[in-house]
Amino acid sequence: MPGYPTGDGAPPPVPGGASVVPAVPPVVPGSAIGIVANPMSGRDIRRLVARASVFPNAEKTNMALRLIAAAGALGVERVYMSTDEMGVAGGVLRAAGKRRARDGRWPELDFCALDRPSGDAEDTRELVRAMRGRGVAAVVLLGGDGTVRAAAAESADVPLLPLSTGTNNAFPEMWEATVAGSAAALLATGQVTPDEATYRAKALRVHCGSATEIALVDVCVCTVAHVGARALWEVGTLRELYCAFAEPHAIGLSSIAGLVAPTGRGDRDGVALRLAGDAAAPRRVLAPVAPGVLASVGVLDVVPLRAGEPMTSAVPRGTVAVDGERELEFGPNTPVTVTLTPHGPTVLDVRAALARAAERGLLVSGIQEPVTTFQEVR
């Protein structure tokens, strides 16, 4: 009878080319993802200046738990979780100890411990190196632009999936952790391929004397003489802005460019602006340069930032901020050049991964008819 197994225990044939999809995906041996939660993200001085809220570490723990649950439900064998001294990993460990069989399958959970935590970006770099060495298919990042920039330095070809938990979140996108975990699991278990579900991001390479830095969103040259607290919030000191991409809905300095010359993540070129500071300018942009701060910024001119063509700063001395944080001091003897490159980190595209899953019925159990047409929703 339809719906009952045949005598040999095999399911009956399904007419019309349809397939029977299991309700619970099997565990895929060797499949693994990594989670790096930056316990310091969302806590810099801009939160005080803008009176913005601090992203609590308790919510980072909850996000990690949702990521792990999604990975387990879709057949990921192992998850590597970062450790920290501020309670994020501790919360995950406590939750793991309280799980019951009826809570659903979890992957094997391994904690990546640092020998000597530094409390800065080097921790992120070391964790990504360790997870890459363990063969993860993707690393999910809980942090802001600075966290992603640190991870990109060590990710090589391992896809990154940045989730916003920082102050500047122009590069990370806002995805619910369960959905993000599902996308990472689809990739890790081979149900979608890297060609289908990842893309190569652009990046900005900054040369200042013998120093080199990379930015994933923007590079800003300002007249402030010293790095100091690193974060930028005084727009009167800004002179030049270089953006790999600039979205009008972004928060941070790239929003200035996004409101006058929107430039997509997938566009070949970027955009460069010369800013007026407090001087007169032919146009002014009211931009969300920080949480809770809409600032009026004078724009003198806007030009394309061509891939592979270095641009040299005309500012004689000051500091260079990468992705919103001052990193380099320079003077007349240390000229600053900025070059856009298409060879940034590989990024997991959540929307594309789940679109492929819907197209193939990967998350639909029971008798699944072949899908003949599908249009990705954006």
| Residues paired with residue 82 on neighbouring β-strands, in sequence order | 112
Quick one: 207 and 350 in the same domain?
A: no
Residue 282 lies in a domain: yes
Q: Give the type of residue at 162.
A: P
How many Å apart are CA 171 and CA 233, to the nearest integer? 19
Q: What is the pLDDT of residues 251-271, one digit of tens each?
A: 889 999 999 999 999 999 999
Average pLDDT over residues 111-128: 90
Dihedrals φ, ψ of 271, to 5°? Answer: -145, 145
pLDDT value of position 367? 56
Instruction: Count up the domains in the chain and report the number.
Output: 2
pTM: 0.85
Percent of the chain scored above 90 by pLDDT? Answer: 69
How many Å apart are CA 234 and CA 224, to the nearest integer? 9
What stretch of H or E contains 37?
A: strand 28-37
Determine how many CB atoms are found less than 10 A away from the CB of residue 309: 10
Dihedrals φ, ψ of 359, to 5°? Answer: -60, -40
CB contact at 8 A, 82 and 117: no
Quick one: 334 and 356 in the same domain?
A: no
Quick one: 362 and 241 in the same domain?
A: no
**Residue with tokens 């391994």, as numbered in its chain:** 110
Specify the range with the lowest mean pLDDT, choosing from 72-76, 93-97, 226-230, 244-248. 226-230
Residue 71 lies in a domain: yes
pLDDT value of position 5? 37
Quick one: 276 and 333 in the same domain?
A: yes
pLDDT value of position 101? 78
Quick one: 242 and 165 in the same domain?
A: no
Residue 9 lies in a domain: no
Specify the range with the lowest mean pLDDT, choosing from 96-105, 183-192, 217-226. 96-105
pLDDT band at residue 278 using 50, 70 and 90 as cut-offs: confident
How many Å apart are CA 198 and CA 162, to the nearest integer? 13
Quick one: 154 and 174 in the same domain?
A: yes
Quick one: 22 and 141 in the same domain?
A: yes
Tokens found for residue 102 = 């009826």
Quick one: 36 and 181 in the same domain?
A: yes
Specify the range with the lowest mean pLDDT, choosing from 4-13, 18-27, 32-41, 147-156. 4-13
Burial class (CB in 10 A: 0-12, 13-18, 19+), 265: middle
Average pLDDT over residues 164-190: 91
- Cα distances (Å, whole numbers) of residue 171 to 1, 53, 103, 150, 324: 54, 19, 34, 13, 12
Quick one: 145 and 282 in the same domain?
A: no
Helix axes 57-73, 177-188, angle to 10 degrees: 40
Quick one: 137 and 220 in the same domain?
A: no
Closest Cα to residue 274, out of 216, 337, 222, 226? Answer: 222
Quick one: 149 and 225 in the same domain?
A: no
Domain interval for residue 75: 15-201+345-368
pLDDT value of position 44? 52
Q: What's the alpha-carbon Rg for the chain, to the nearest Å?
A: 23
Q: What is the pLDDT of residues 24-63, one digit of tens each?
A: 789 999 999 999 999 987 555 444 455 555 678 899 999 9
pLDDT band at residue 85 using 50, 70 and 90 as cut-offs: confident
pLDDT band at residue 374 using 50, 70 and 90 as cut-offs: very low
Residue 279 lies in a domain: yes
Dihedrals φ, ψ of 328, to 5°? Answer: -125, 140
Q: What is the CATH number of the domain that holds 284?
A: 2.60.200
Tell me the three-class secondary structure of 41-107, residue by residue.
CCCCHHHHHCCCCCCCHHHHHHHHHHHHHHHHHCCEEEEEEECCCCCHHHHHHHHHHCCCHHHCCCC
The answer for residues whose C-beta is within 8 angstroms of residue 202's C-beta and 6 or more apart is 216, 244, 245, 265, 270, 307, 340, 341, 342, 344
CB contact at 8 A, 297 and 287: yes
Closest Cα to residue 82, out of 97, 67, 70, 100? Answer: 67
Distance, C-alpha 143 to centroid of its chain: 8
Quick one: 287 and 312 in the same domain?
A: yes
Residue 373 lies in a domain: no
Residue 196 lies in a domain: yes
Specify the range with the lowest mean pLDDT, choosing from 21-35, 141-155, 264-278, 315-329. 21-35
Q: What is the CATH number of the domain that holds 49?
A: 3.40.50
pLDDT value of position 167? 61
